[in-house]
Amino acid sequence: MAEEQTGKADETAARHNRLVKIELDEAVTPRRSAEAEHERAIAIYDLLEGNQFDLVGQTGPFHLYLRAEGRHIRFDVCNESDVSLGQFFMAMGPLRRVMRDYFQVCDTYFDAIRTKSPSQIQTIDMGRRALHNEGSELLQARLNGKVETDFDTARRLFTLICVLQSK
């Protein structure tokens, strides 16, 4: 009986501690490549299909608005009625090296798709995925104490932050 109640509580938390709307404030963002736009669309779609996003001290579901502001990313988290539940800034400094390397490998990857052999593309893609994973783990650590996410959610959020930083 206690296991059944615990399972229902976990199921309820999973329904509530999630993102149901995500928007990027792109007013000052330069026009991006078709690849970056595609990555943005896929990341948002995948996030909305399944995510774990638990704003510490609040109950969701949540709306998330992301915006690049100088050397920071601003996270605005609201409830379903768009009432603000919290806002915080994350300095980009700790992510810069990983993002720079990730952008460079992504450029190499997109070029390789047009000209390289499948095995060369696969090797480059493995490096791209490793950097993406590293960035996701770093993002999870940077959000610790503010937002709890699972790895897949952090991975997609890292993609969106990269999109906001891409030129």
Who contacts 62 (Cβ-Cβ below 8 Å, separation ≥6)? 18, 19, 20, 21, 53, 55, 77, 78, 79, 80, 85
pLDDT computed for residue 9 by the predictor? 44
Strands 62-69 and 19-25, by their bridges, are parallel
CB of 56 closer than 8 Å to CB of 145: yes
Q: What is the pLDDT of residue 66?
A: 95
Quick one: pLDDT at residue 29? 55
> Kind and range of the H or E element at 88?
strand 84-91
Gyration radius (Cα) of the chain, Å: 17
Task: Give the pLDDT score at 143.
Answer: 94
Please tell me the predicted confidence (pLDDT) of residue 61: 95
Q: Tens-digit pLDDT profile for the chain (167 aa)?
A: 555 544 444 454 556 789 999 999 866 555 667 777 888 899 999 999 999 999 999 988 999 999 998 899 999 999 999 999 999 999 999 899 999 999 899 889 888 889 999 999 999 999 999 999 999 999 999 999 999 999 999 999 999 998 888 76
